[in-house]
Amino acid sequence: MGNTVIGIFGSRNAGKSSLLNSLSGQEVAIVSSVPGTTTDPVRKRIELPGIGICTVIDTAGLDDDGGDLGRERVARSLQAAEQVDLGIIVLSGNDFPPAAEDLTALLRRREVPFLLVHNREDEAPMTEGFAGQMRRRFGSEPMRYSCLKATTEDRDALTAAIRARLAEGLMRPRPMFEGLAAPGRRILLVCPIDSEAPEGRLILPQVMAIRSILDYGAVAQVLQPEQLEYEIRSYGEQISLVVTDSQVFARVAAIVPGSIPLTSFSMLLARSTGSLEVFRQGIRAVESLREGDTVLMLESCSHHANCEDIGRVKIPALLQKHCGCRLNFEMVSGLDPIKGDLSRYALAVQCGGCMVTPRQLRNRIAYVAESGLKLVNYGMLIAYLSGIYDRAIKPLI
């Protein structure tokens, strides 16, 4: 699920961009001996053996002392740490810069794994004293590396270390149908194939649902809304659960008898990634929205979102109708940092996040929730605004 994002952090001129080039085997980043060549986080897509295509964020130096601008650049580098699945902290000259303290504290708070690399081994090898100091603090020594002199074996070892750290830190979402599917149970999955459905395939949450149901030895019956009435008549009480796409929630709820539990893919996904409770609390904030309030819409795709219409048209219309007032909507696409003070928003609405890793989504949610801003997801909000939230949440609590 989603594209892995790796952040490269460190002091100016520690060799962050050189490390990116060394990893990719190409000159993808501009390298210079002038400290501070990378001024803003730069994203590059590279392919790493055993990991596949991933995005690497090359950040500005954590020790940038260029006045207000320098502080802003450091802040942006730290913000970039909110978006990564793994941090690589590049050190050199046996120095662990003070700003790296903030970075490691943030990564630890977000439970993001990180790898320390001591670069420029050819110029200033790591001393036993520094290695021991790092070992005591972080449980392992930095990896010795020289971007300038790295051999194929060195690069392979670095990639292997990255792979290992990513595997250690892999978030294992709760199985989607834990406690809901079991041998002999029949679960109906309502998947509309309409103009918004991707060409020739199902969307990822639907595929994940099928796999999870099969893992539990239950029967997954995939159908479109038009076929639902017939299937309900045919199987009746043998159906233990109906799961629907949020977009046809109201229509499906009108067909499925109250005796058959009903929920949505997005609610199951929220439970699986541990965000259900945050969103349940956020739902209450809908009733506090007032004329002129601003709602922050968070769309995890940076372009070509499959569900663009939901976030930009449907939810704004439904929400304003429900509240009976005019609201402002601001859209943030991708996982770029949300600029400015979050207190100016009255509510945040996060998309399903099907194109990002569970960790990236969880960290985005944690960042917003820590600010005190209430947060819901698209599917749960649609269920609430359609008047079927209580029914849809019941099988999951």
Task: Name the site residues for ligand SF4 (rule: CB under 6 A).
Answer: 299-301, 305-307, 351-355
Least distance CB 41 / ligand SF4 (angstroms):
20
Closest to ligand SF4 by CB, 319 or 355: 355
Closest to ligand SF4 by CB, 103 or 301: 301
Cβ partners under 8 Å of residue 29, min gap 6: 17, 18, 20, 21, 38, 42, 44, 58
Please spell the DSSP secondary structure of 330-359, one letter per residue: EEEETTPPPPS-GGG-SEEEE---TTS-HH
Closest to ligand SF4 by CB, 85 or 299: 299
- Number of Cβ atoms within 10 Å of the Cβ of 313: 10
Least distance CB 297 / ligand SF4 (angstroms):
10
Closest to ligand SF4 by CB, 187 or 305: 305
Extract the tokens encoding 28.
Answer: 């993808």
Least distance CB 264 / ligand SF4 (angstroms):
13
Q: What is the 3-state secondary structure (H, E, C) of 101-143?
A: HHHHHHHHHCCCCEEEEEECCCCCCCCHHHHHHHHHHHCCCCE
Closest to ligand SF4 by CB, 61 or 353: 353
d(CA 274, CA 268): 10
d(CA 169, CA 173): 12
Strand order in the sheet with 86-92: 42-48, 52-58, 4-10, 86-92, 114-119, 143-144
Extract the tokens encoding 317.
Answer: 């219309």
Beta strands 294-299; 347-350: pairing state: parallel
Least distance CB 313 / ligand SF4 (angstroms):
13
Closest to ligand SF4 by CB, 21 or 300: 300
Closest to ligand SF4 by CB, 125 or 334: 334
Least distance CB 193 / ligand SF4 (angstroms):
16
Least distance CB 266 / ligand SF4 (angstroms):
8
Least distance CB 329 / ligand SF4 (angstroms):
15
Cβ partners under 8 Å of residue 206, min gap 6: 189, 191, 222, 245, 265
d(CA 53, CA 5): 10
* CB-based contact 247:192 (threshold 8 Å): yes
Least distance CB 315 / ligand SF4 (angstroms):
12
Closest to ligand SF4 by CB, 42 or 355: 355
- At 74, give phi and psi (nearest 5°): -65, -45
* CB-based contact 28:67 (threshold 8 Å): no
d(CA 44, CA 36): 18
Least distance CB 174 / ligand SF4 (angstroms):
19
The gap from C-alpha 252 to its chain's centroid, in whole angstroms, comes to: 29
